[in-house]
């Protein structure tokens, strides 16, 4: 795996055409793309298929959350798309359904979303959860491991404790990344690519710092370079 395979560029754009233009502008500097809700109903699934056929890796950020049987059937359908990573909420039945649905199609990796980074202790309390965020992240990571999922989505803040407890058994995908000096946009807890890799993240999800950059290709190259030197220091 090369450093650019660890950079998942979020195609958070309003149309499949704009997303395709971004992919073309980034060219060989981008190897992995995230497609989420915004694109899904407006041609995002066809784009996912085209990217896959064109040799790019695709992260389907669909965050499934339903009864296990429905998740299982949904994931079976997703397997026909040809994506590489799929997110579901990290609850036992949801994870088990997803792993069942994936079956022997080991290409599609299942990632459990632990606790959304937009939630803080007060918002958890409002939902009736008294547990500390870090403990809840670890508990849900344990659900992911027990269900046979491939990894979790977690903030860089929690990556180190996940790595310490689960080692390389689960891959960690980390959003909220900003190169030094970049605008934070609406992200509250941001870390640099190097710090996220040092904390134990395996893949970084980066949106606006690449797709809204004056030169998206160069922005992607710079982040991959930063990932490469942080990996060299981590080794
Ligand atoms: O533009 P930016 O780099 O902030 O985009 C981050 C991407 O990661 C967005 O697609 C966002 O939905 C996603 N994400 C996140 N925080 C999470 C989970 C997903 O920012 N906890």
For 120-179, the pLDDT digits (tens) are 899 999 999 999 999 999 999 999 999 999 999 999 999 999 999 999 999 999 999 999
> For the chain, how many structural domains are there in total?
1
Dihedral in degrees, nearest 10, Cα atoms 157, 162, 193, 31 = -140
63 in catalytic set? yes
More confidently predicted of 106 and 201: 201
Q: Is 184 in the pocket of ligand 1 (CB under 6 A)?
A: no
Residue of 7, 8, 9, 12 to test ligand 1 pocket, by largest number of atoms within 8 Å of CB: 12
In CATH, what number is assigned to the domain containing residue 22? 3.20.20.70
- Residue 147's pLDDT is what? 98
Q: Is 116 in the pocket of ligand 1 (CB under 6 A)?
A: yes
Out of 63, 76, 109, 157, pick the active-site residue: 63
- Residue 226's pLDDT is what? 97
- Per-residue pLDDT band for 234 (boundaries 50, 70, 90) equals confident
- Residue 134's pLDDT is what? 94
Torsion-angle region of 128 (φ positive above 0: left; ψ -120 to 50: alpha; else: beta): left
Domain that holds residue 181: 3-234
- Per-residue pLDDT band for 181 (boundaries 50, 70, 90) equals confident
Q: Is 193 in the pocket of ligand 1 (CB under 6 A)?
A: no
pLDDT digits (tens, 9 = 90+) for 71-116: 999 999 999 998 999 999 999 999 999 999 999 988 999 999 999 8
pLDDT over 80 at 235, yes or no? no
Q: Is 10 in the pocket of ligand 1 (CB under 6 A)?
A: yes
Nearest ligand 1 atom to the CA of 177 is: 3
Mean pLDDT in the chain?
Answer: 95
- Per-residue pLDDT band for 188 (boundaries 50, 70, 90) equals confident
């Amino acid at each position: 795996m090369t450093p650019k395979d660890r950079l998942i560029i979020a195609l958070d754009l309003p149309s499949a055409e704009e997303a395709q233009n971004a992919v073309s502008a980034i060219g060989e500097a981008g190897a992995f793309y995230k497609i989420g809700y915004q694109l899904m109903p407006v041609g995002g699934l066809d784009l996912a298929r085209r990217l896959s056929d064109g040799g790019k890796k695709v992260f389907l950020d669909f965050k499934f959350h339903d009864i296990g049987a429905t998740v299982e059937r949904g994931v079976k359908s997703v397997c026909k798309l040809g994506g590489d990573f799929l997110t579901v909420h990290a609850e036992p039945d949801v994870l088990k359904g997803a792993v069942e649905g994936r079956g022997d199609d080991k290409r599609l990796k299942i990632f459990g979303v632990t606790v959304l980074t937009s939630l803080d202790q007060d918002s958890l309390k409002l939902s009736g959860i008294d547990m500390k965020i870090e403990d809840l992240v670890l508990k849900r990571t344990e659900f992911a491991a027990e269900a046979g999922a491939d990894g979790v989505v977690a903030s860089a803040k929690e990556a180190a404790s996940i790595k310490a407890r689960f080692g390389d058994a689960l891959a960690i995908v980390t959003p909220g990344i900003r190169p030094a000096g970049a605008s934070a946009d609406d992200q509250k807890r941001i870390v640099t690519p190097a710090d996220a890799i040092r904390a134990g993240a395996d893949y970084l999800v980066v949106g606006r710092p690449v797709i809204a950059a004056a030169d998206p290709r160069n922005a992607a190259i710079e982040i991959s370079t930063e990932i490469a030197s942080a990996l060299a220091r981590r080794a």
